[in-house]
Chains A and B, each alone.
Chain A
Amino acid sequence: MTSGTTAPVLRVENLVRTFGGVKAVNGVSFEVMPGELKALIGPNGAGKSTCFNMLMGQLKPTAGKVFLKGEEITGKPPRAVWRRGVGRTFQITGTYQSMTVAENVQMALMSHHKRLFSILPHAYKVYREEAIELLDVVGMADQADRACAILAYGDLKRLELAIALSNNPHLLLMDEPTAGMAPKERINLMQLTADIVRDRGVSVLFTEHDMDVVFAHSHHIMVLNRGELIADGNVEEVRNNPKVQEVYLGGGTLYKQEPADA
């Protein structure tokens, strides 16, 4: 799927994050290639969200490096990472409740075009067409003028996706994009994401608990357990990986079985 000649969009080298004595993420390295839809899975507490927060700059890594298109972005604040072309959606949506659907996207567009400190025009008219176009991509154009506060949760998730696309990102980071959604909505949202990856050439890295969603749409899957990457490969490789089976099916314990000779 990915050729060896193209450069990765995202390269992570030996990422470590400790909380007190706990190593939440312990030496994780991976790459995300252009146009790739890659899943990061793992049991609760495996370090997925910690990992995500370090990629986007919400959390500073204890050690390790993050490169976006070859440029190091380790420890840069979220807004700087966003300016370099990384969009993000959150596990719990954080849209602007007091604005309409279209205004939420317009806000991101105003930020992208560096118009935040402009005091001349009426903001509700600024970049309205572009916002409607983006809303059309996620199928929300017909709700453009509704207040965000009265949207259904699934619609909020789609709105968040439109916002994340507003800076023409190279990479989308989606933290549990389908959490809290009905099964049918989940399938629709992931199909939508897959379409966006195909049509726009965006790379997507996402975490997810729903294995149906993961195995149906991802090109590659990474499995994180207790802060360490135990698998990174295509769907078949990961499905057949004995360590992964151990973590997800085996033994009823998530802890590594330390053999006597270790």
Chain B
Amino acid sequence: MGLLVAQLLTGLANAAALFLVASGLSLIFGVTRIVNFAHGSFYMLGAYFGVSLMDHLTGGFGFWTSIVLAGLIVGLIGVVVEILVLRPIYRAPELFQLVATFGVILVIQDLTLMIWGAEDQMGPRAPGLKSVVRIMGEPVPQYDLALIAITPFILFALWWLISRTRVGILVRAATQDREMVGALGVNQSWLFTGVFFLGSTLAGLGGAIQLPKGGADLLMDLNIISAVFVVVVIGGMGSILGAFVASVLISVLNVFGVAYIPQSTLVLMYVVMAVVLLVRPYGLFGREEKAGEHGQVGEPDRPIRPAGTLGKSLVALLIAVLALVPLYGGNFTQVLITDILIFCLFAASLQFMLSVGGLVSFGHAAYFGGGAYAAALLVTYADTPMELAFLFAPLAAGLLAIVFGWFCIRLSGVYFAMLTLAFSQLVWSLVFQWYDVTGGDDGLVNIWPAAWLSGTTAYYYFTLIVGIGGIILLRHITHAPFGYALRATRDSARQAEATGINVKLVQWTAFATAGAMAGLAGGLFVFSKGSVFPNELEISKSFDALIVVFLGGVKTLSGGVVGAAFMESVKDWLTRLEYWRLILGLLIIFVVIIAPEGIVGTLRKAAERVGLRRTEEFMR
């Protein structure tokens, strides 16, 4: 009994930081409708600033002042980010905003590395609260009790701010109808900036207040963000109370998980989320998100046509050149092109659902890594011949996508994106923690292709055929009736339903197709490397695909492939630089703000402007 109580108290104490970060994210989303992926970075900055300030400000007063100051500094950084990065793109499609905040993550990561170095920072213990209290015989840290006592006050303060002050009225009004608040003469820009300040401050406070329990390190940002997303999704986007309840739920669950089923702590969190969403798709305290009448923001996509003779000839020429590579290129070139082709197929599969279907998935790595792991597991445990295991990769990934897709398709927009992300984290945590089967962090090794494909050149041709075949297949489906049906659901779901199209079924099928093709890429990947590790399932893998689709051009058909080829080619050179994340992050932000059409879209426009390419007949 005593142990139970002690564990419960630990859980409640852990909930404090989680709640601070989650409520900030929820608040920002409620008003600006932006899901700030960089919110975890603000949390990390709060921790680092907290450590530095505590070095100088000593004693109990210094400790608490440091926490508050760290929060305020991070709040100001949030304001800078909001003004520089987000203001120019409030009217852009939500995908652009999400990608921009991901650019911010990369920039902050490298800036933190520059300032504080790579070493983990120990958090100082809170002066005056260093010992433990015995509760029913079990030791409970005093600081935990302090956190438990503080959290309700923060909840109350936020509640009071939101429901009792003029600012709160504006915030609530903006949450419900931004345009109306603007029309009533409220300066929206500063309202947004103010909310961003408040939200970032909360994240910074969260980072600083957990210092005595956790310290500061460079992985904090991505580590907390998935937990925060789970909390916000369970609690309901935009609900402070929801963030509180879900933070407590998740933290307590985690503590008990660690104690009783240590193999599944991470998985547990995502299972709870899936269950909650089954019953309440918009979270415990969330309200149904009313999507706009028509999904697309900004300039509509152009009509599409299959490639003409010129286009087909160029592709044929490219394939011919690639087929000749082994004659003059060495091993290194062949391996590099193999990697590029695999990534191109992965990106093409995401582009299919994202651009053609308007389904912004943030967890596409689940199907790439899922396919790779499925094949690897078969080889490892059933001695399956490579050919059979390889076929199983797209099959397993497709099945996974059918299951996850069934949940995700019921939601749309940001909720859809968050849920896809959470599901991919579920797969990742399963693989990461189920050491006995998946090898955990050690991965699965010795997954080599069959004898007839074992040479670099043989596998190069295999990848060339399967990879390009997959890309062409996806492209053909885009031009086929099914691809058109998918575009119809994206352009106007209402019109599609009113003309006999089962929108959800079409989207679900597209989800499964994209998943299977990502699995195919994963199958190619695992046999080319001979091994697979959990990082193929990580958030950053999903983001890689998103970023290349974005760089290439979201509103084009070939953007994913072009972007992937570009990125994979320069990655080798780029990652040799010490601060490559900074450069990449700035590049992403630059593209989002200055050239949102991406490489392909920008080239197309430029070619039209100088007369190299005629404006398509249907645009006249």
Contact = CB atoms under 8 A, between A and B. Distances in A.
Interface stretch (A14-22, A144-152, A194-202, A211-219): A144-152
Nearest to A110: B481
A3 interface: no
A97 interface: yes
Interface stretch (A64-72, A112-120, A181-189, A230-238): A112-120
B602 to A, nearest CB: 19
Interface string A105-132: 0111011100111111111101000000
B120 interface: no
A56 B498 CA distance: 8
A78 B481 contact: no
A79 B500 contact: yes
A239 interface: no
A92 B293 CA distance: 9
B340 interface: no
A14 B300 CA distance: 42
A94 to B, nearest CB: 4
Contacts of A106: 484
B499 A107 contact: yes
B619 interface: yes
A96 B293 CA distance: 13
B618 interface: yes
A120 B473 CA distance: 10
B492 to A, nearest CB: 4
B61 to A, nearest CB: 54
B284 interface: no
B491 interface: yes
A82 B500 CA distance: 6
A101 to B, nearest CB: 9
B467 to A, nearest CB: 19
Contacts of B605: none
A116 B476 CA distance: 14
Contacts of B498: 56, 58, 78-79, 82, 88, 90, 94
A127 to B, nearest CB: 9
Contacts of A118: 480-482
Contacts, number: 126
A198 B477 CA distance: 40
A78 B210 CA distance: 52
B182 to A, nearest CB: 22
B479 A99 contact: no
Contacts of B619: 147, 150
A116 B506 contact: yes
B296 A97 contact: yes
Contact of A99 (B303, B482, B506, B617): B303
B300 A149 contact: yes
B495 interface: yes
A119 B500 contact: no
Contacts of B300: 97-98, 149
A185 B616 CA distance: 29
B457 interface: no
Interface string B230-269: 0000000000000000000000000000000000000000
A26 interface: no
Contacts of B487: 96, 98-99
B175 interface: no
Given A117-B509, A147-B302, A94 B495 contact: yes
B134 interface: no
A175 B616 CA distance: 34
Contacts of B576: none
A193 interface: no
B480 A119 contact: yes
Interface string B301-316: 1111110000000000
A115 B481 contact: yes
A57 to B, nearest CB: 9
Contacts of A94: 293-294, 492, 494-495, 498
Contacts of B140: none
B276 to A, nearest CB: 26
A96 B491 CA distance: 5
B502 interface: yes
Contacts of A79: 497-502
A167 B501 CA distance: 12
Most A CB atoms within 10 A — which of B293, B490, B495, B509?
A: B495
A97 B490 CA distance: 10
Interface in A47-81: 56, 58, 77-79
Contacts of A121: 480-481
- The listed residue with most B CB atoms (<10 A of its CB), out of A83, A96, A100, A119, is A96
Contacts of B166: none
A140 to B, nearest CB: 14
A149 B299 CA distance: 9
Interface string B77-121: 000000000000000000000000000000000000000000000
Given A90-B494, A119-B477, A110 B485 contact: yes
Interface string A136-167: 00000000011101100000000000010011
Contacts of A203: none
Interface in B193-225: none
Contacts of B499: 79, 82, 107-108, 111, 163, 166-167
Given A83-B500, A97-B300, A117-B509, A147 B618 contact: yes
Nearest to B493: A94
A145 B617 CA distance: 8
A110 B617 CA distance: 24
A129 to B, nearest CB: 16
Nearest to A80: B500
B614 interface: no
Contacts of A100: 303, 618
A90 B495 CA distance: 9
Nearest to A147: B618
B290 interface: no
A56 B494 CA distance: 12
B369 interface: no
Given A79-B501, A99-B487, A146-B620, A117 B303 contact: no
A173 to B, nearest CB: 9
B488 interface: yes
Interface in B482-526: 482-485, 487-488, 490-492, 494-495, 497-502, 506, 509
Given A82-B499, A111-B501, A112-B500, A123 B483 contact: yes
Nearest to B492: A94
A143 to B, nearest CB: 10
Contact of B303 (A82, A98, A163): A98
A176 interface: no
A95 interface: yes
B484 A123 contact: yes
A228 interface: no
A116 to B, nearest CB: 4
A167 B498 CA distance: 11
Nearest to A82: B500
A166 B500 CA distance: 11
A161 B477 CA distance: 28
Interface of A: 56, 58, 77-79, 82-83, 88, 90, 92, 94-100, 103, 106-108, 110-112, 115-124, 126, 145-147, 149-150, 163, 166-167
15 contacts: A95-B495, A96-B488, A97-B491, A98-B302, A98-B304, A99-B488, A99-B491, A103-B303, A103-B484, A106-B484, A107-B499, A116-B485, A119-B476, A123-B483, A167-B499
Interface of B: 293-294, 296, 300-306, 476-477, 479-485, 487-488, 490-492, 494-495, 497-502, 506, 509, 616-620
Given A98-B302, A111-B500, A166-B499, 9 more contacts: A78-B498, A94-B494, A99-B488, A107-B484, A110-B484, A111-B501, A123-B479, A123-B483, A149-B300
* Top 9 A-B pairs, shortest CB-CB distance: A97-B300, A94-B495, A98-B301, A96-B491, A94-B492, A111-B500, A123-B484, A147-B618, A116-B485
